[in-house]
Amino acid sequence: MLLHDDKSDNGEGFSSTTPSVSIGLPVFNGEALLPQAMDSLLSQTFTDFEIIISDNASTDGTQKIAQKYAAQDARISYIRSAVNEGPAANFQRAFSASRGKFFMWAAHDDLWESEFIAELVSLLESDPGASLAFCRFDNIDMDAKSVKQYDLRDVIGPSRKQTLHRYILHPGNRGKGNLLMGLMRREILQEAKGCYLWSGRYWGGDMLTVFRLLSLGSLQLSDRLLFHKRLGSEKPRHHHETRDQKIAFLREQMQQYRVYWSTIHWMIRGFAGFTRQDKWQLHISVLWCDWLQRLGTYRTIMREYRRSARDKILKRDAQISTTPSANSTRRAA
């Protein structure tokens, strides 16, 4: 259920003029950083855009902030769900409400250089066969200080098959999922089903959506650093207090990857415009990555088990060395 609270030029929630770019901004309890994100987007040199703030039933001051921005700028609309339906549904809701020729998702805690949209629009306009455009980017901390930079240009191949092949081989921890935050052709994203949970799970959903987009068009990347992906203040998902927790996480990770690679196999089988040989070559790349990932995780798990066994032995030996023997106790008596 959605509650609409939009400012409009025509009394129906939207301006009568269709914008070139639609920006879908899904948010939940983002009051701390939402104003920074909005100011960053409103500072773009490219101004022919709309912003759809899709609120996933926030319980903090997000609604008030969003309504304030919508009241000040006719390009901004605000929609709110009465209940939290999860992040995927919120991403999809923001896309479904959009109208522009091009579309991009924007996280409530990220930042963009002022020429981000202009640069990516130019890239898509220069290549009618491109489905997605992005740029160099970095991770920033809560104080907006750069932590690590990424450049995904090595993903681009001379053909769609080669780009998909390189995307498969590109490690997941080197930022390839962030391509989902680039600028896309709306009709191609629609064909790709938007923010669709291909595997039925949230984990890896960004990479699977990008993989589908790259099967439908080429990738354009700017060598300019124009996007800043914020790292959260909470403990990372891979933070573990104990070795048992780490082992449990690694086992869960193996299961997540199993589903992820199986889903890619399934997606490849349904790709149109690829020869049988092309598909088999992509399947082989998936099998190779799946095997490497399983092997690496298995070795890590076994190493943790060995360390756990060693620690238990050391702890037992320490207890024995500090505990008086029965004979010593009798002699003392």
Please check whether residues 46 and 150 belong to one and the same domain: no
Whether 142 is in a domain gets the answer yes
Domain finish residue from 234, 254, 273: 234
Domain finish residue from 83, 109, 135: 109
**pTM score:** 0.86
pLDDT of residue 144: 95
Please check whether residues 99 and 34 belong to one and the same domain: yes
Distance from chain centroid for Cα 142: 18
Whether 333 is in a domain gets the answer no
pLDDT by 10s per residue, the chain, length 333:
555 554 444 333 445 589 999 999 999 999 999 999 999 999 999 999 999 999 999 999 999 999 999 999 999 999 999 999 999 999 999 999 999 999 999 999 999 999 999 999 999 999 999 999 999 999 999 999 999 999 999 999 999 999 999 999 999 889 999 999 999 999 999 999 999 999 998 899 999 999 999 999 999 999 999 999 999 755 455 555 688 888 888 888 889 999 999 999 999 999 999 999 999 999 999 999 999 988 988 888 888 888 878 877 877 778 787 766 545 544 555
Q: How far apart are CA 262 and CA 169, in angstroms?
A: 15
Q: How many domains does the chain have?
A: 3
Please check whether residues 315 and 211 belong to one and the same domain: no
Residue type, 164: L
Whether 296 is in a domain gets the answer yes
Please check whether residues 167 and 230 belong to one and the same domain: yes
Whether 330 is in a domain gets the answer no
CATH label of the domain that carries residue 92: 3.90.550.10
Please check whether residues 126 and 206 belong to one and the same domain: yes
Residues ≥6 apart with Cβ < 8 Å to 285: 165, 168, 169
Which domain does 123 fall in, by range?
Answer: 112-234
Residues ≥6 apart with Cβ < 8 Å to 103: 21, 22, 23, 24, 95, 183, 184, 185, 186, 189
Please check whether residues 105 and 136 belong to one and the same domain: no
Please check whether residues 99 and 43 belong to one and the same domain: yes
Please check whether residues 104 and 116 belong to one and the same domain: no
Please check whether residues 250 and 295 belong to one and the same domain: yes
* Beta bridge partners of residue 54, listed in sequence order: 26, 79
Whether 327 is in a domain gets the answer no
The answer to whether 155 and 176 have CB atoms below 8 angstroms apart is: yes
Whether 202 is in a domain gets the answer yes
The answer to whether 175 and 150 have CB atoms below 8 angstroms apart is: yes
Whether 331 is in a domain gets the answer no
SS3 53: strand
Whether 42 is in a domain gets the answer yes
Please check whether residues 104 and 3 belong to one and the same domain: yes
Enter the tokens of residue 270. Answer: 């349904």
Domain finish residue from 84, 109, 134: 109
Please check whether residues 219 and 255 belong to one and the same domain: no
Please check whether residues 215 and 118 belong to one and the same domain: yes
The answer to whether 156 and 163 have CB atoms below 8 angstroms apart is: yes
